[in-house]
Amino acid sequence: MSILKVARMGNPVLREKARRVEVAEIRQPAFQKFVDDMIETMNEYRGIGLAAPQVHEPVRLMVVGIQHDEDDEDDSKIEVVPLINPEVTAIGSDTVEGWEGCLSIPEVRGRVRRAVEIRLQALDRRGKRIDLTLQGFPARVVQHEADHLDGVLFIDRMGSFDSLTYLDEYARFWAKD
């Protein structure tokens, strides 16, 4: 496995709409290695999600860490799930504003409004259909990563730049929010 180079804000690959992955492509050893490399890269950089465009591959693939019990603070219970050709649909109209960061915009945080509950439909790494309902933080992570597949960064979703902050200042002034 390999640690992949993460594209940073300003790289055109982050603004492209990623192409769908064909089922036959999913089964290829090179694609399976790429999935493993993405997981290793996400873990190396201590992320909770990573989309393929962030590592210079404009395909509709993301890996996300999903903790099914948000009240359990045991990180070992986070399951890393590869999601291919994901489709995200908001359930209801409830939204909540929350803090986000991004490996492609290092050391920066900002508040973004997202749907509280979503339906996620995708393919797993074997090409099998996944259909999940997610709420809270896992829903936020999936929405954030899905945006990358359409060339959208979290700063594009900010209603105001008043909360845009560097990580150090976030820790000093905002982390209690």
As annotated, the active-site residues are 145
Q: How far apart are CA 72 and CA 129, in angstroms?
A: 27
Backbone dihedral angles phi then psi of residue 97, each to the nearest 5 degrees: -90, 135
The dihedral of CA 100, 105, 110, 113: what is its sign?
negative
Residue type at position 10:
G
Q: How far apart are CA 15 and CA 58, in angstroms?
A: 10
> Tokens 């290092």 identify what position?
106
Quick one: 152 exposed, middle or buried, by C-beta within 10 A (0-12, 13-18, 19+)?
A: middle
Strand order, beta sheet including 165-166:
95-102, 105-115, 165-166
135-145 burial, b if ≥16 CB within 10 A, otherwise e?
eeebbbbbbbb
- What does the block give as tokens for 74? 């045991």
